[in-house]
Amino acid sequence: MSGAGKSQAAKCLEDLGYFCVDNLPPSLIPKFAELCTVSGNLRNVAVVLDIRGEEIFGDLLSNLRELQRDHLPHRVVFLDASDPVLVRRFSETRRKHPLSDRGRVSDSIAAEREELKPIRDAADVIIDTSALTLSALKEKLAHAVSGIAEERMMSVSVVAFGYKYGIPLDADLVFDVRFLPNPNYVPELQPLTGDNQAVIDYLDKSPEVQAFKKHLAGFLDFLLPQFLHEGKSHLTIGIGCTGGRHRSVYIANELAKHLETQRIQAFVERRDAQR
């Protein structure tokens, strides 16, 4: 999405050792990939695309299928952000939206969402940049592109969030943990987060917490191999409690530890823990 941080993401990928090409026509992607393969010098390459090339954008999916046929490992990373955040960013920078002929900025954003929907649906990774700092974006990108060249490799982002701040746009699965005992009502635990040992000890003592962790781990142990079998190499799992500080962070950490025991790369994002 325009305004979702494409330029910053490209800089982050360059810092991660990627050679970035901005706004390459989709029809040239297979040929460019072939050149990179032949040269042998360019192993990590990022092609940055946006709606500016909309008249040829429709060819993107067919060109990506060519990469699949040629067995060239790749991932599609889609950058998104909430509509209010996108409107604010365009207002602050005073930049025109690429589809500004559609009316107000909000109308342009709605039109762009509709046009990019097939690409978003086909993406391997969706990153919601609404509340991400630059360092957090870099960390998420590093996790999203890790293991691309390794077959049968899955990576999982676990996002701890607060329902009062909204569900993450990039979540593939969402689990509500608001039924668990709430450390927010314990005065000495209220200012802490689920990373703190005192909160961990409090939740560890709960039979409901232990039962939920067992059921969640078993469910995902069944589900993730099914996603991998269907070709999905990256998954984002949202864990939500009321404020996103205690229960969601604790469960996200526990889930990540379990996934690591299953040889699945896991990354935890504590989206609302410091609000």
Instruction: Name 158's bridge partners.
Output: 237, 268
| 262, pLDDT greater than 90 | no
CATH of the domain at 46: 3.40.50
SS3 194: coil
| 139, pLDDT greater than 90 | no
The tens digit of pLDDT for each residue in 190-199 reads 999 999 999 9
Mean pLDDT of 116-138: 89
Spatial separation of the C-alpha atoms in residues 259 and 217, rounded to whole Å: 8
Q: Are 168 and 125 in contact (CB under 8 A)?
A: no
Identity of the amino acid at 127: I
Mean pLDDT of 247-260: 96
Query: What are the residues whose beta carbons fall under 8 Å from the beta carbon of 248, sequence distance 6 or more?
Result: 160, 161, 162, 177, 194, 239, 240, 241
Provide the mean pLDDT of the chain.
88
Q: Is residue 150 part of a domain?
A: no
Look at 97-106, 219-228, 234-243 and tell me which has the smallest mean pLDDT: 97-106
Domain holding 23, by residue range, is 6-145
Question: Of 145, 168, 201, which one is at a domain's C-terminal end?
Answer: 145
Question: Of 110, 145, 180, which one is at a domain's C-terminal end?
Answer: 145
Q: Is residue 219 part of a domain?
A: yes
Spatial separation of the C-alpha atoms in residues 216 and 239, rounded to whole Å: 11
Same structural domain, 217 and 117: no
Q: Is residue 25 part of a domain?
A: yes
The tens digit of pLDDT for each residue in 97-115 reads 888 877 788 999 998 999 8
Q: Tally the domains of the chain.
A: 2
Same structural domain, 17 and 141: yes
DSSP state letters, 166-187? ---TT-SEEEE-TTS--GGGST
Which among 178, 167, 169 is positioned nearest to 208, based on CA atoms?
178
Highest mean pLDDT among 39-43, 54-58, 96-100, 118-122: 118-122
Question: Of 94, 111, 145, which one is at a domain's C-terminal end?
Answer: 145
Mean pLDDT of 182-192: 95
- CB environment 225-245: b (16+ within 10 A), e (fewer): eebeeeeebbbbbbbbbbbbb
